[in-house]
């Protein structure tokens, strides 16, 4: 299932912002968020100073690893139909904290486009949402760089954003005002729900790929799980010893990972609330005193697209790659001031953002999933843990299907 000896991540490319003369370069330069479009045809980079860069993917040939190809049918069609897509610069007017692409192509998004561009009917529309420092959310059309909507409601920084993977154009936002808000972009960006309950800033939100659950992480030791059907709290997950700052679901929705300042990633069964495993981030070169007790504090965690690996970024200047079945990292890469990470949706590349406004692209393990894992992934995409446990199958098979074998 896993490659026997994965290579250390190699730095493929590093992009650095130009220095804007109208700003103090030492402030607001962080890359708080990076994102690939679900089809792999675009990359969004919050490069600091209120600017988001939209970059067609893949990058120029000299930056692409041997054998790597962007498996994007939509991108090829786009190139034939409209000419090669060009890099866009979005001036958001405020510091950008959160980024999220909509699924694409999405039939409902054509309606949104038609409302704002009646002269250009029936155009499929890839959307980028940006969460801003003043609590606003700006919605952009990627192909043109045009601003479509401005969503108001939050009273403080919009730290994170997440679209439902189904393509329904439901957007969830997480804010320092201690709330999450649900928006329907098919209804002119109407706010349809406010989720309250967190006592601290909400850092992160993630929607399960089956669109049934929403996870939110705030500056608290517990994580909240919400129903995406009723918008009610399902349960709190408790186990961390410090603030939880990042979370992500596995591609089959069967696992949830949370990352904390306590230097641990916890892997959960979101259906039962059971804690399955902890991944502790140990410093490679521990300090001689206690001055850097929080140096391994985590900043970001994400699943690989096939669900067999995790990537984490911590304050100890390391990007780590973890295999699902192992308790120690299988690979490391040195990176300074890392803040966020995400996998390319077709695998093979990890993008990371830094406090300096840089974005880096690293090689990621490429793996041919075993038939066992593919079957598990397919089954868990529509079966909950309880439904698996109710099946008339051997106990060992149930343990494998519910990720209890490691």
pLDDT tens digit sequence for 151-177: 999 999 999 999 999 888 999 999 999
The Cα–Cα gap between 227 and 324 comes to: 26
The gap between the terminal CA atoms of the chain, to the nearest Å, is 14
pLDDT for 116: 56
Answer whether residue 352 is part of any domain: yes
The Cα–Cα gap between 175 and 153 comes to: 10
Global pTM value: 0.87
Q: Hey, which residues does 52 pair with through a beta bridge? A: 46, 90
Answer whether residue 26 is part of any domain: yes
Which CATH number does the domain housing residue 310 bear?
2.130.10.10
**CA 345 and chain centroid, separation:** 11
The pair of structure tokens assigned to 21 is 């003369």
Mean pLDDT of the chain: 85
Answer whether residue 1 is part of any domain: no
Q: What band does 5 get if pLDDT is binned at 50, 70 and 90?
A: low
Answer whether residue 118 is part of any domain: yes
State how far the alpha carbon of 53 is from the alpha carbons of 130, 152, 327, in Å: 11, 23, 36
Phi, psi for residue 97 in degrees, rounded to 5: -105, -40
Q: What band does 286 get if pLDDT is binned at 50, 70 and 90?
A: low
The Cα–Cα gap between 281 and 343 comes to: 20
Residue where the block lists tokens 């045009």 = 146
Answer whether residue 275 is part of any domain: yes
Contact 354, 341 (CB under 8 A): no
Q: What band does 66 get if pLDDT is binned at 50, 70 and 90?
A: low
Answer whether residue 265 is part of any domain: yes
pLDDT for 301: 96
pLDDT tens digit sequence for 222-233: 999 999 999 999
Q: Where are the alpha helices (DSSP H) in 91-168?
A: 107-116
Helix or strand (DSSP H, E) at 79: helix 73-82
Q: What band does 295 get if pLDDT is binned at 50, 70 and 90?
A: low
The Cα–Cα gap between 299 and 260 comes to: 7
Answer whether residue 375 is part of any domain: no
Beta-strand runs (E) in 219-368: 222-227, 233-238, 244-249, 256-260, 264-269, 274-280, 298-303, 309-314, 318-323, 331-334, 338-343, 349-354, 359-363
- CB atoms under 10 Å from CB of 379, counted, come to 15
Look up the domain containing 45 and give its range. 9-59+83-284+292-368
pLDDT tens digit sequence for 10-34: 998 999 887 554 555 445 788 899 9
Answer whether residue 385 is part of any domain: no
Assess whether pLDDT exceeds 80 at residue 345: yes
pLDDT tens digit sequence for 254-283: 999 999 999 999 999 999 999 999 999 877
The pair of structure tokens assigned to 89 is 């610069």
Contact 142, 182 (CB under 8 A): no
Assess whether pLDDT exceeds 70 at residue 63: no
The pair of structure tokens assigned to 40 is 């792999």
The count of domains in the chain is 1
């Amino acid at each position: 299932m896993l490659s026997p000896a994965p290579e250390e991540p190699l730095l493929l490319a590093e992009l650095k912002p130009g220095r804007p003369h109208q700003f103090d370069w030492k402030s607001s330069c962080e890359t708080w968020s990076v994102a690939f479009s679900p089809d792999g045809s675009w990359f969004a980079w919050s490069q600091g100073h209120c600017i988001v860069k939209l970059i067609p993917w893949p990058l120029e040939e000299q930056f692409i690893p041997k054998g790597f190809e962007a498996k994007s049918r939509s991108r090829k069609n786009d190139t034939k139909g409209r000419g090669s897509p060009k890099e866009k610069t979005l001036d958001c007017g405020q510091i950008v904290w959160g980024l999220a692409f909509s699924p694409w192509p999405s039939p409902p998004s054509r309606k949104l486009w038609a409302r704002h561009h009646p002269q250009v009917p029936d155009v499929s529309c890839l959307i980028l949402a940006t969460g801003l420092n003043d609590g606003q959310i700006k919605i952009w059309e990627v192909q043109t760089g045009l601003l479509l909507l401005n969503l108001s409601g939050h009273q403080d920084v919009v730290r994170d954003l997440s679209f439902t993977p189904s393509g329904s154009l439901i957007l969830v936002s997480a804010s320092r005002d201690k709330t999450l808000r649900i928006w329907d972009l098919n209804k002119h960006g109407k706010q349809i729900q406010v989720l309250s309950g967190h006592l601290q800033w909400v850092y992160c939100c993630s929607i399960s790929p089956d669109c049934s659950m929403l996870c939110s992480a705030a500056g608290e030791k517990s994580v909240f799980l919400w129903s995406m059907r009723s918008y009610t709290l399902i349960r709190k997950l408790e186990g961390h010893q410090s603030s939880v700052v990042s979370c992500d679901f596995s591609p089959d929705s069967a696992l949830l990972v949370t990352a904390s300042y306590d230097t641990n990633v916890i892997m959960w069964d979101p259906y039962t609330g059971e804690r399955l495993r902890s991944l502790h981030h140990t410093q490679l070169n521990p300090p001689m005193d206690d001055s850097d007790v929080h140096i391994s504090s985590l900043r970001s965690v994400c699943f690989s697209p096939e669900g067999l690996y995790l990537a984490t970024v911590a304050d100890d200047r390391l990007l780590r790659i973890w295999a699902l079945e192992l308790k120690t990292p299988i690979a490391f890469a040195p990176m300074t001031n890392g803040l966020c990470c995400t996998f390319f949706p077709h695998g093979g590349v990890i993008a990371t953002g830094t406090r300096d406004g840089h974005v880096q692209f690293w090689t990621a393990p490429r793996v041919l999933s075993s038939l066992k894992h593919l079957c598990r992934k397919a089954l868990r995409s529509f079966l909950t843990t309880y439904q698996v446990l109710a099946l008339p199958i051997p106990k060992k098979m149930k343990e494998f299907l519910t990720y209890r074998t490691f």
